[in-house]
Amino acid sequence: MKPESRLRRTLLLSVLLSATWLVATTQAEEKSGITVMGVGKVDAKPSIVELTGTINGEAELAGDAVTKFRGNRQSAIEAIEALEIVGLTIEGTGVSVNSAMTQQQMQAIMQGMPAQGDSAGKLAVSEPLKLTLVGVEDMDTEQLLETLVKIVDAGKDSGIVIGSMPTNMNYGYRRGNTRTPLAKFKLTNVDELKAQAYEKAIADARKQAERLAEISEVKLGPITGIREGNLPKNNQQQVVYYNPYMQQQDDSDQFTSTDLRDITVSITLQVDFSIVEDGGE
């Protein structure tokens, strides 16, 4: 045997031995810890209410559409401001100009047919408005309802289309869904509540781990790892259903409800504890 080939064989053997030791060490470490799921929940009253509405100006002539839009916007804002509700703000979220379809044209499109009729159509100038009421947590239910009713009434009286309309009308019609939520209740102090929830999740995890250690007659060591979220499950297929009502969600949408009730901030942590060997350390 040549000295080069002997050296190569020795090196290969060393690598294999090292790898085997590493695997054995890792397996020994995994087996020496306890991993548990800790859940922390904090319930809180929503602090703001958001209502969305749409101001619309639609006409055959562009000039008319703009006049209508201006008139409707002015009357809507005046009506809301006239309520003099403390903490209520109105925010326009951008004007859009569209070619409005007639109902017959919409029907034709639903049928997969070309839209017939006057190609000139109508022009629509519209702007979504966001009405935000803060300080909800300090109101009792009756007071809040009364305030909301006032806003909705004033909006309807002044011609605002309150509530967000689904972008796909066909979807709504086919499912008989003619109800749209008017108000969304939201939390604002999410970070603070999350911090509380984390503390609760860790406490919950420690409690579970201690119990497991006691049953197993081992001594629980310090936390060696934390991961947020549930444990991954095998063979789980994720099916996403198309829902046109579901709009793109941001972080704050996770802590939103369409019902007036406490909103839960929930944190799930996967926590690893080590096991301390008897007489060890």
Partner 1 sequence: MIAATRDSHRGRELLGVVARMVYVLFSFGCLSTLAHAQVIVAAQVGDASDEDEKNLGGFQVQVDDSMATSFKDFERFAARKDWEKAFRAIGEIPSEKRVGMLKAGGGMIVPARTRIWQVVAELPAEGREAFRVFFDAKARELLSHIDADDAEPVADIKIARQVYDEYFLTSVGDDAANLLGDAAFEQGDFRGAERYWRAILDHHPNTELGELRIQVKRAMALLRSGRGRQYAALLKDIEQRFPGETVVLGGTDVDPATFLKSLQSDSGLLVVEQDSQANDVTIAAGSLPAETPTAWRLQYLSDKGKTLMDQSVRSNYWYRNGVETYVPPFTSLGSRLICNWFGIVFAIDTTTGKLLWRSEKFDKLHSQFAQMPHSQTNIEQFAVVAGGDTVLAISLNTERLNNYREPFRLVAYELDTGKERWKSESVGPLKNESFIGQPLILGDNLLVTTHGRNESKFTLRSLKLSDGSENWSKELGTASQVQKSRRYQQQNPVPVFLQTDDAVLVLTNNGALIALDSLGKEIQWVLKFKGPPSSSGNNMFWYGNEPLEDVIALHSQGAIVEEQGVAYFKEACSNELFAVDLSGPKVLWKRPVAVEAVLAGADEERLYVLTREIMAFDQETQKLQWSRRLPIAGGGLSAIVGRDTVYIFTNRGIYCLDKQNGTKKSIFRGADLESNGGWIEVVGDRLVCVSNMAVTAYRPPWSDGISTDTTTQPAATSDPATSSEPPESSDISEDTSG
Positions that interact with partner 1 (CB under 8 A): 56-57, 59-61, 63-64, 67-68, 71-72, 75, 79, 103-104, 107-108, 110-111, 113, 116-118, 122, 156-159, 170, 173-174, 176, 178
Least distance from partner 1 to the Cβ atom of residue 65, Å:
9
In the block, residue with structure tokens 């294999």: 16
Q: Taking the complex as a whole, how short is the minimal distance between the CB of residue 71 and partner 1, in angstroms?
A: 5
Determine how many CB atoms are found less than 10 A away from the CB of residue 34. Answer: 21
Report the half-sphere exposure of 165 (CA within 13 A, side-chain side).
16
Compare residues 76 and 201 and give the one whose CB is closer to partner 1.
76
Burial class (CB in 10 A: 0-12, 13-18, 19+), 41: middle
Give the shortest CB-49-to-partner 1 separation in angstroms.
Answer: 23
Q: Which of 30, 130, 136 has its CA nearest to residue 85?
A: 136
Give the chain's largest Cα–Cα span. 100
Dihedral (Cα; 9, 10, 11, 12), 10-degree rounding: 50
Comparing CB distances to partner 1, the nearer of 66 and 226 is: 66
Handedness of CA 256, 259, 260, 263 (dihedral sign): negative
Smallest gap from residue 167 Cβ to partner 1 (A) = 16
What's the closest the beta carbon of residue 158 comes to partner 1, in angstroms? Answer: 7
- Decide whether 57 or 221 has the Cβ nearer to partner 1: 57
Given a contact cutoff of 8 angstroms between Cβ atoms, the answer to whether 45 and 136 are in contact is yes
CB of 37 or CB of 108, closer to partner 1: 108
State how far the Cα of 90 lies from the Cα of 50, in Å rounded to an integer.
10
d(CA 13, CA 248): 56
- Closer CB to partner 1, residue 243 or residue 254? 243
Q: How far is the CB of 208 from partner 1 (least distance, A)?
A: 50
- Which of 58/137 has CB closer to partner 1? 58
